[in-house]
Amino acid sequence: MAVKNVEEMVKRDWNHPSIVLWGVRINESRDDHDFYVQTNAVAHKLDPTRQTGGIRYLTHSELLEDVYTMNDFIHSGGEIVLRDQKEVTGLEEYVPYLVTEYNGHMYPTKRFDNEERLIEHAMRHIRVLDAAGRDEHISGCIGWCAFDYNTHMDFGSGDRICYHGVMDMFRIPKFAAYSYKSQLPPDREVVLEPVTIYTRGERSIGGIVPLTVLTNCDYVEFIYGGQKLGRFYPDKERYPGIPHPPVEIKDIPGEWGTDWREGEFIGYVGGKEAARRKFSANPIATRLVAVADDEVLSADEPDATRVVYKLVDQEGNLLPFANEIVKFDISGPGEIIGPKEVALIGGCIAVWIKTRNEEGRITLTASGPRFTANEVEIDVR
């Protein structure tokens, strides 16, 4: 059956340009020479243009595929981030090698966790990306995983959710997601994400330093209470393996319990201001913001889109410890998928709406005990 599944997979997906390698091993299975000779042969016969790989967790596994693929969960916060491939393969020579999973269950992180955990979560992804980039014998690495997901009692948290993702189940980014997004070239999109809730008493012992900024800007200026503290540059010496290392601000005036002031981060690209983020010293819930992924949906076939709701302060920053109830109401040729009354999780939530194969305009409204969100309108054509 598994050999047949490989055949069906290749026939179904061979013309997808995003596929660069066929996985011909059952996930994290033990070696089986005769069986995996068959799965490799099927994939190569049906598509001789692509390489084969699989998913391993055991070291010194027999290499029958074109690429040695390994789940490397060695990083637990210490100095060892990725293993040398010869240690994994047991071979005397270097071979094509791909890290297929890392992090994940090693450091599950909820979007409403404390700031120190959110920072460490982001930095573990940065460290692996950097280590892979510095190792010429690693062709790439694939993090586990993009999104949190429901699971069973033996694998998830107390609510049976795996908080392994760099985004939550609603596809809303945690700070760790910007470890990846900040590697984009700035001419594609400028990224400036201070990894902080920006409050003096959130961390152990107090304070917010060292303050990490995930960014693809050339440098960042930080203004604290109207006082410019200087220019801060990406730490290329510490993280030479990635295009855009994080920026670290190590000193901010004042001690815990003293006057706390607003902060402003300004990112520069090519000597010009490219992005700006401001944080209030006294954040107050100000508005409930709604943003839809799509403004137009299809009336010819079933279609759907996501609408994200965030409770933000006066500077537009998410309030991660808000858990207010939000009620939805919809009119027009659409339906809400799921309940019409939910609680914010980490200050935000998302709802999906689907069409009814009718043309018209969908109007979605939402309100909580203190705020009414901006109205969302989606055309169905």
Cα 167–Cα 170–Cα 175 angle in degrees, nearest 5: 25
Summarised one tens digit per residue, pLDDT across range 210-258 is: 999 999 999 999 999 999 999 999 999 999 999 999 999 999 887 666 7
Strand arrangement, sheet containing 325-331: 296-297, 376-380, 360-367, 325-331, 341-343
Q: Which of 358, 322, 354, 356 is nearest to 338 (CA)?
A: 354
Compute the Cα dihedral for 335, 337, 341, 345 and give only its sign: negative
pLDDT at 59: 96
pLDDT, position 254: 74
Question: What pLDDT score does 207 carry?
Answer: 87
Q: 206 pLDDT band (50/70/90 cuts)?
A: confident
pLDDT score for 255: 67
Residue 96 DSSP class: -
- Give the whole-angstrom CA distance, residue 282 versus residue 261: 8
- Both tokens assigned to 238: 């510490």
Average pLDDT of the segment spanning 80-90: 97
Of 310, 258, 318, 259, whose CA–CA distance to 283 is shortest? Answer: 318
- What is residue 6's three-state secondary structure? helix
Strands (E), 26-96: 51-53, 68-71
DSSP 9-24: HHHHHTT-TT--EEE-
If you average pLDDT over residues 73-99, what whole number do you get? 97
Least confident of 61-70, 91-100, 149-158: 149-158
What per-residue confidence (pLDDT) applies to 256? 67
**How many angstroms separate the CA atoms of 179 and 182, rounded?**
6
Give the mean pLDDT of the chain.
Answer: 96
| 361-380 average pLDDT score | 96
**CA-to-CA distance for 228 and 238, rounded, in angstroms?**
25
The model's pTM:
0.94
Does residue 92 carry a catalytic annotation?
Answer: no
Q: Which of 7, 79, 101, 341 is catalytic?
A: 101
Q: How many CB atoms lie within 10 A of CB 216?
A: 25
DSSP three-state, residue 95: coil
Q: What is the pLDDT of residue 72?
A: 97
Is residue 124 pLDDT above 90, yes or no? Answer: yes
Cβ burial of 86 (10 Å; 0-12, 13-18, 19+) is: middle
Who contacts 163 (Cβ-Cβ below 8 Å, separation ≥6)? 108, 109, 110, 148, 157
- Residue 106 structure tokens: 């090693």
Q: Which long-range contacts (CB under 8 A, 24 or more apart) does 370-373 make?
A: 370/285, 370/324, 371/285, 371/287, 371/288, 371/311, 372/288, 373/287, 373/288, 373/289, 373/290, 373/309, 373/326
Q: How confident is the model at residue 359 (pLDDT cuts 50, 70, 90)?
A: very high
Query: What is each CA distance from 344 to 109, 114, 174, in whole angstroms?
Result: 17, 17, 15
Distances (CA, A) of 2 to 7, 51, 60, 71, 87: 9, 18, 23, 21, 30
* Residue 205 predicted with pLDDT over 90: no
pLDDT of 257: 66
Sheet with 348-355, side-by-side order of all strands: 287-292, 304-312, 348-355, 334-337
Mean pLDDT, residues 180-202: 96
pLDDT attached to residue 366: 97
In the three-class reduction of DSSP (H, G, I as helix; E, B as strand; rest coil), residue 103 is classed as strand
At residue 264, the 3 state secondary structure works out as strand
Q: Which of 7, 8, 28, 79 is labelled catalytic?
A: 28
Rounded to the nearest 10 degrees, what angle do helices 33-46 and 2-13 cross at?
20
pLDDT average, residue stretch 92-101: 97
- Give the model confidence (pLDDT) of 138-162 as tens digits: 999 999 999 999 999 988 999 999 9
Q: What is the 3-state secondary structure (H, E, C) of 105-170?
A: HHCCCCCCCCHHHHHHHHHHHHHHHHHHHHCCCCCCECCECCECEECCCCCCCCCCEECCCCECCC
pLDDT value of position 163: 97
Is 262 an annotated catalytic residue?
no
Structural contact between residues 10 and 47, judged by C-beta atoms closer than 8 angstroms: yes
* CA 170/CA 7 separation, integer angstroms: 33
The domains found in the chain, sorted by start residue, are 2-181 (3.20.20.80), 192-279 (2.60.40.10), 287-380 (2.60.40.10)
Q: What is the pLDDT of residue 253?
A: 85
**DSSP tag of 282:** S
Q: H-helix or E-strand containing 179?
A: helix 177-181
Judged against a pLDDT cut of 90, whether residue 47 lies above it is answered with: yes
